[in-house]
Structure 1
């Protein structure tokens, strides 16, 4: 018979998984799926390209995240109240998208998509804060694994599933179905318990709302070193990942081979790595896991050098991608738990949004000139540099040990 404490833990992680699913579902409905819909509708390539701007709310969410700590709605508590109303608005906006014809009003469709992105980013803020406050510290690693697992499943259903459904029932019905699935996620919000609130006087001035979370973080010992580590930990992985598709193409792999091996087959090692990483974090702790998983990430990047010499060989592609995805999944689970552990529960939403924005800089900004590097030093040199770029983050992690040994 399962004990009450075990049942409570299972419930916490089921909720975490389902909230991750809700976070991942809307992301590509304003990205690749919408691009396909607008392309099929005859919208110009220039206008389709402008859809990249729709993703801006995800990188700027730290700007309004403190407001979700500051203002409490009069129902369901601080976290679930905001989450329920955000999800209700998301469902409504997705229905508006479904009923809009991009061939007739592409600008309006773009504006609605921007609204969906804003609400989706807001949902992410609340769910990140909820996860930090709802899970005990010793379950942050496993919980982060379940969250990322659900997030990936939601993304896969919306992107791969959405595109396949669109060929059968059309984009309008597909978006209505996705809105319905997100509506079901509202039931999870109602089922989930409200986290225990950390009592504090509500901030009423600008500096209390927007500056106190930042001041609180940077005033702790080693704060700037921690921010630098967040920037560096997955830098090599991010820079290498920015050019993997052109690399596969240069080796002669076809689109079908890349899609089947890298995207579909490679998803399962990634999900497995996330799950295994979450379990190991509970056993080893966050600090030790960051060290070991960081070394594995570095070695997996070096695997692309081996693949470059093996050439067009599907088995080697599958092996290298599997190792890289398992290591990336484990590193993601540890890194997500690490960032959650750094937040003060009085400012969870604002601080986590800030840390996740710093984490995203390598992927969005620093990796941008990677093509120039690969063109200058060749594929071997490029992946060797990406491997070595991981060292500063690992060395910094060793220096920060005294601030993290309890994690």
Structure 2
């Protein structure tokens, strides 16, 4: 019985080729030495030197290809083709899974729990306290410097911390099953704050892992997957969990969410490598001790001015979004119709928009795409100034477009912040930028509601549109920094 011939692996084949080239280079050296010893009649060695240079160039190219094509995927996850480009799946799967496991508890506390509390007779001021879930995301800069180091005691590397935090989040959320909304609302709010602290820390570590382990193009698709997964988590946390509560029990729905968190933490257990895998080294890494020095270093960045002004404009542009549901009600839609348009149609459209944004970021870069989308955002906001003169269907279309753009721009801002952050201080840089972003968006939404009471919708939408144009302008001021980071 004939056997198929054995074929050497790629690594063995490259090793054989490299050894053959080294042998030819050594042979060339020997011939050159012979010519020197034979005297002037044999002294013409120019062709031999050219041969040596050519062989060395070929060997150098082979070594570079060997390094670039070596296994850079983490664990058992392998490279695939996404959007026509070779891409490592590890960043996409890790970002998507952990964004979803953050999203389910977070949006349960901000969208699902208020409905349950109201149904049990809670007052509106008590329901308003459920939004404390977003406070840790605005203050995570306080503990961000601690995670600048790639290894932090007691758990070690970033993947080890993600595994621990996923268990901690599931455990905290499981405690919710012990307390009923009608009897222990303040305990549930306190648990929501604990879960939010864990979620904010997961966001920090996950972003740091991506900055260290993925190049710019891989991060673009990973951020797209993260936003899409966060939206999916919002749908599950605000709708599916309450449906389980109606069909079975409060305890059953909470246990289901806790198990979901654990299931979606599995990629952190599959990945074996916990060190940079695709980003070229920039030299010796020097990490400052956690504290004020890390924040001072970030504030001394040569492009900090345009970045801060861009974040301020992001908050201005997003602030008016809080008025869109009220605008739909004023244009004749019922509360259930407005909820369906924004909670199902608009929110669902964010998922394909996020992946389209990922493709655009890979193809054209974050600066060009962010600038174009903020011009589109400004156009939608300017149109909403005259919403009172439009048909209700037109206003609904503008509202859906506004939400869709908001989701796509979230992908862009994550990408922008990760590109701006340094690899040596990834947690501090990303934490400061996203904390300021969260605070200003919260302030923008609060201010929009107060201002609209006195001067109406139109002025608020006009101010938000100017903020969108300002965001476009300041993003383009960051283009030099982005160009420098494009090779990372």
Instruction: Tell me the TM-score normalized by structure 2.
Output: 0.75
C-alpha distance in structure 2 between counterparts of 1:125 and 1:114, whole Å = 17
TM-aligned CA deviation for residue 130 of structure 1: 2.0
2:222 is matched with 143
- Give runs of aligned pairs for residues 172-211 of structure 1, distance below 5 A: 172-192=251-271, 193-196=273-276, 200=285, 203=288, 208-211=289-292
C-alpha distance in structure 2 between counterparts of 1:107 and 1:329, whole Å = 32
C-alpha distance in structure 2 between counterparts of 1:255 and 1:45, whole Å = 17
Task: Indicate if the aligned counterparts of 2:420 and 2:482 stay in contact, CA closer than 8 A.
Answer: no
Task: Indicate if the aligned counterparts of 2:93 and 2:267 stay in contact, CA closer than 8 A.
Answer: no
Which is higher, the Rg of structure 1 or of structure 2?
2
Distance 1:180 1:278, change over 3 A: same
C-alpha distance in structure 2 between counterparts of 1:46 and 1:368, whole Å = 15
Task: Indicate if the aligned counterparts of 1:266 and 1:318 stay in contact, CA closer than 8 A.
Answer: no
C-alpha distance in structure 2 between counterparts of 1:105 and 1:318, whole Å = 39
Matched, 1:231 2:312: yes
SS of the aligned residue for 2:248 comes to helix
SS of the aligned residue for 2:249 comes to helix
Task: Indicate if the aligned counterparts of 1:221 and 1:403 stay in contact, CA closer than 8 A.
Answer: no
Distance 1:57 1:382, change over 3 A: closer
1:269 to 346, 349, 359: 349
Distance 1:272 1:22, change over 3 A: same
- Give runs of aligned pairs for residues 380-399 of structure 1, distance below 5 A: 380-399=458-477
Task: Indicate if the aligned counterparts of 2:287 and 2:425 stay in contact, CA closer than 8 A.
Answer: no
C-alpha distance in structure 1 between counterparts of 2:465 and 2:450, whole Å = 17
TM-aligned CA deviation for residue 54 of structure 1: 4.3
Instruction: Tell me the TM-score normalized by structure 1.
Output: 0.89
2:369 to 275, 289, 303: 289
2:431 to 353, 363, 368: 353
Matched, 1:131 2:201: no
1:69 is matched with 148
Cα shift readout 1:28-67 (whole Å, capped 9, x = no counterpart): 2332322333344445554444333344222211111222
CA RMSD of aligned residues (A): 2.5
1:51 is matched with 130
Distance 1:341 1:400, change over 3 A: closer
2:294 is matched with 213
Cα shift readout 1:227-275 (whole Å, capped 9, x = no counterpart): 2212213522x12102112211111210121012222111232222211
Task: Indicate if the aligned counterparts of 1:270 and 1:322 stay in contact, CA closer than 8 A.
Answer: no
C-alpha distance in structure 2 between counterparts of 1:105 and 1:239, whole Å = 33
TM-aligned CA deviation for residue 25 of structure 1: 1.7
Larger RCO (alpha carbons 8 Å, 6+ apart): 1
TM-aligned CA deviation for residue 278 of structure 1: 0.9
Q: More displaced, 36-45 or 246-255?
A: 36-45
SS of the aligned residue for 2:80 comes to helix
TM-aligned CA deviation for residue 112 of structure 1: 2.5
Q: Which stretches in structure 1 are left out of the alignment for 5+ residues?
A: none
- Give runs of aligned pairs for residues 91-130 of structure 1, distance below 5 A: 91-130=170-209
TM-aligned CA deviation for residue 104 of structure 1: 3.7
1:244 is matched with 324
C-alpha distance in structure 1 between counterparts of 2:177 and 2:471, whole Å = 44
Cα shift readout 1:272-308 (whole Å, capped 9, x = no counterpart): 2211111011110111112112111211222323543
Task: Indicate if the aligned counterparts of 1:128 and 1:349 stay in contact, CA closer than 8 A.
Answer: yes
Matched, 1:328 2:402: no
C-alpha distance in structure 1 between counterparts of 2:286 and 2:301, whole Å = 21
Q: Which stretches in structure 2 are left out of the alignment for 5+ residues?
A: 1-70, 72-77, 82-86
